[in-house]
Structure 1
Amino acid sequence: MNTATSRTGLLAAGAAVVTVVLWASAFVSIRSAGAAYAPGALALGRLAAGSVTLGVLCLLRREGWPPRAAWPGIALSGLLWFGVYMVVLNWGEQQVDAGTAALVVNIGPLLIALLGVRLLGDPMPPRLLAGMAVSFAGAVAVGLSMSGGGGSSVLGVVLCLVAAIAYAAGVVAQKPALGRASVLQVTTFGCLTGTVLCLPFTGQLIRDAADAPLSATLNMIYLGVFPTALAFTTWAYALARTTVSRMGATTYAVPALVVLMSWLALGEVPGALTLVGGALCLAGVAVSRSRPPRDTTAAARRSEGVDVRE
């Protein structure tokens, strides 16, 4: 592996870390904004803030329009991931307890892996599969331990399942587009697509904004600028340089980081089960992203789902 390839790998890993940290930080902001904004209004406000931020960056970098060949993937990921996922997840998590949400929503990375194998020809090395299984168990443990004991409706379970499917399909659709357009183009126009899909919630957003406290509105803007505009861009950068399966597995670090941030920002001291679940999440991510020692041939690295482009 030459120096340029090694540097690219480090940058991609760094981008993935930025993504999961910012997505975990969204938990605290959603707790505030979600109390004042309805699910559709929150999704529209977040996506609008993200679209403005990404649009300015595109103009400054003179990115222009994506090539025609990239539009199917951009449009599909925008509709499913930026649009349907954000609205349905906001709605679903109001209908179920945290344990049920963790169980249902966190099948998303597993669906990503299965779709990646089926549709993109991604490899499924044993380490990746084992790591995802460990992380999934940890995510469910975290969700159960942080559950407030509230009931779960059938509608809420269905909504969380739809969110997981939309997330997985959106990620898999985004991957081919990244081979035809720049990272910023794919992210910006995907976010714009999601914003357009959420425009029917404009009236609700205006009404909620009139009554919402300033802190909730600022948290909504934060969600748009950082966990959306920045984190989805760093996600796309990392995804362009690895497989969807490995990136999906990486997101299992989010529940562990949520536990830490809730402890630091909200004073929510984690219990024993929460700590064990968080540790399992991180251990599973470490296993899923590890590679067998001394096996550095291009063929071997491809079998482990590693991008070997020079």
Structure 2
Amino acid sequence: MHARHFGQLILLSALWGASFPFIRIASPAFGPWGLAGLRCALAAAVLAAIMRTVGEQWPPRAAWPRLALLSLLTIALPFVLFNAAGLVLPAGYSAILNATVPLFSMLGAAAMSEERLTARRLAGCLLGFIGVALLVRLGPVDAGTGVVLAALACTAASACYGVGAILMKRAMLTHQPLAASAAAHVAATAILLVPLGLSVPAMRPTAEAVLAVAVLGTVTSGLMYWVSMRLLREIPATAATSSALMIPLFGVTWGGLFLREPVTLGMLPGALLVLAATALITGFNPLRRRRGRAG
């Protein structure tokens, strides 16, 4: 893996890590279905505007059913599930459970004969989970029915992301990343249109919630989905989804910078383990090029 790919993974993790606090702010105001619909609509509008600006063509009509399935797995379902969990779980819990995405992607890719299940990648996943546990020290949460269901919702959303990444990888063989990203969000908006309409009467928007939706829709959904699609065109799906392992790392960072949450030296081992895990799964080795040049 090239350094620029690794840098893009870090960028994705940094911005996607901010999405969980935004979900906690916006989901109570708009509801799980309403937030998902608004987020998809904003992302579709931004990507469509970019397509119009650069003069890129939309995918052919025959490709839309597969892109609709892609949008269901990687956009509509995960958004609704994480939004519903955000009504109950702290953002850190959702971020931790989201870190299981590479595991689902790795198992799915192996089952579909897309990638080999290697000891290095398995070790990377295990190391990543240990690092996440060290990074995010959450207080006890009563394991009531609501919490258990919310945790299951996060796990199901992560499974959708992991398996959906394989379909995204296949889509990149025949479609341009921008066109596929725009079409997927248009399809997701269509899927969520009726639930969005039904959610409108119960919405109680606030200024903070509106700002959160705007960032979720334009940046973490629209633009970053496009970046992830471009990345999937160049690296394996398992490697691309490894950004999920770094999301809790950035969640802690944003909390320290903007919410004055404690950030201590005790978090350093967890951060290093997460970065090492990502390198194992992706195969990124910053010393490889230097050794090649030296030889």
Q: Give the TM-score normalised by the residue count of structure 1.
A: 0.81
**CA RMSD after TM alignment:** 2.8
2:138 to 135, 146, 150: 146
The answer to whether the Cα contact below 8 Å between 1:74 and 1:189 also exists between their aligned partners in 2 is yes
1:18 to 11, 23, 26: 11
Q: Deviations over 1:108-133 (max 9, x none)?
A: 21010111122142133433222221
Residue of structure 1 equivalent to 2:32: 39
Q: Deviations over 1:75-120 (max 9, x none)?
A: 2220111101110111124344667645644322101011112214
Aligned-partner SS, 2:261: coil
> Counterparts of 1:243 and 1:116 in 2: how far apart (Å)?
9
Q: Structure 2 vs 1, CA of residues 92 and 223 (structure 1 numbering), >3 Å: closer, same or farther?
A: same
Q: How does 1:89-128 map to 2 (within 5 A)?
A: 89-96=82-89, 101=94, 104-128=97-121
The answer to whether the Cα contact below 8 Å between 2:92 and 2:251 also exists between their aligned partners in 1 is no
> Counterparts of 1:30 and 1:268 in 2: how far apart (Å)?
18
Point out where structure 2 has 5 or more consecutive residues left out of the alignment: 291-295
> Counterparts of 1:216 and 1:208 in 2: how far apart (Å)?
14
Residue of structure 2 equivalent to 1:261: 254
Residue of structure 2 equivalent to 1:201: 195
> Counterparts of 2:140 and 2:28 in 1: how far apart (Å)?
16
Pairwise CA distance, 1:198: 1.3
Q: Give the TM-score normalised by the residue count of structure 2.
A: 0.85
Q: Structure 2 vs 1, CA of residues 142 and 11 (structure 1 numbering), >3 Å: closer, same or farther?
A: closer
One-letter amino acid of the counterpart of residue 57, structure 1: I
2:53 to 44, 49, 60: 60
Q: State whether structure 2 residue 199 is matched by structure 1 residue 190.
A: no
Q: How does 1:1-310 map to 2 (within 5 A)?
A: 9-67=2-60, 70-96=63-89, 101=94, 104-143=97-136, 145-147=137-139, 149-153=141-145, 154-207=148-201, 211-270=204-263, 275-290=268-283
Q: Deviations over 1:12-48 (max 9, x none)?
A: 3343332222111223322322342211111111111
